[in-house]
Copies of this chain bind each other. A is one copy, B any other.
Amino acid sequence: MSALPAIQHSWQSIHAEVLRRIRERDWKPGDRVPDEAELATEFGCARATVNRAMREAAQAGFLERKRKGGTRVATLPVRKATLDIPVIRLEVESRDQRWSQKLLLREMARPEGVPGFANFVGKALHLRVVHKADGRAFLLEERWINPAMVPQILEIDLETVSANEWLVSNAPFSGGDIAFSAANASDTEAGLLAIASGAALFVIERVTCNGDQPITQVRLAYAPGYRMQTSI
């Protein structure tokens, strides 16, 4: 009962009220909640407005919705965190630091054992780059690029433009996979990053594809101190 203070509109206010009821245990985990039509009456708005509010809450993991089954409060709310994967240069500049890079290696080679390039035949563009923030090396990039997918990149001056940035702007892609892990720095890596051998690196591995064709695979190894953050 107890309708809301009279004037309630906007899906956001309803969304907030829904989250409040979950947080305050008005609606308990596992509970069936009133259906959209009922809530629309209670809130005095159109069903579509309730739908929007509930859909967003479900997408965030707070509710579980099923046709005919109705809507229930999630029992074990799987929290969903959204990470931004920015262009490296912008990530550095957003910390008010100056970005620069050094191209250590540029070759055409056979990608062997490279994730995403399993069935690849012929040679691919292989890059190794050190990224610097205010002149200090903080990130090693090891990248393989499928030249069949982005032939133009063979003519780009990768000393000037980062492959990362060029690809983001010029390589259409449909999807990919990302994995995060930790790894001990090899002697070589330690030398390049000016850190102790064996130091713990934060590693991001990413494969991007267009359809079923791989475009690029990259391994980013961040020097100690790097933190990837987000809110939930």
Contact = CB atoms under 8 A, between A and B. Distances in A.
Interface in A154-183: 165, 168-169, 172-183
Given A178-B232, A200-B201, A208-B232, 11 more contacts: A23-B173, A76-B87, A76-B90, A81-B85, A83-B83, A176-B231, A179-B227, A181-B227, A182-B182, A182-B224, A184-B200
6 contacts: A22-B172, A23-B172, A75-B169, A180-B228, A182-B183, A182-B224
User: How many copies, total?
Assistant: 2
Contacts of A24: 172
Interface string A80-105: 11111111001000000000000000
A198 interface: yes
Interface in A174-213: 174-184, 198-203, 208, 210
Contact of A183 (B78, B169, B200): B200
A147 B129 CA distance: 49
Interface size class of A (residues with CB under 8 A): 35 or more
A229 interface: yes
B231 A181 contact: no
Contacts of A177: 229-232
B184 A202 contact: no
A87 to B, nearest CB: 5
Given A85-B80, A169-B76, A172-B25, A202 B180 contact: yes
A66 interface: no
A199 to B, nearest CB: 7
A72 to B, nearest CB: 14
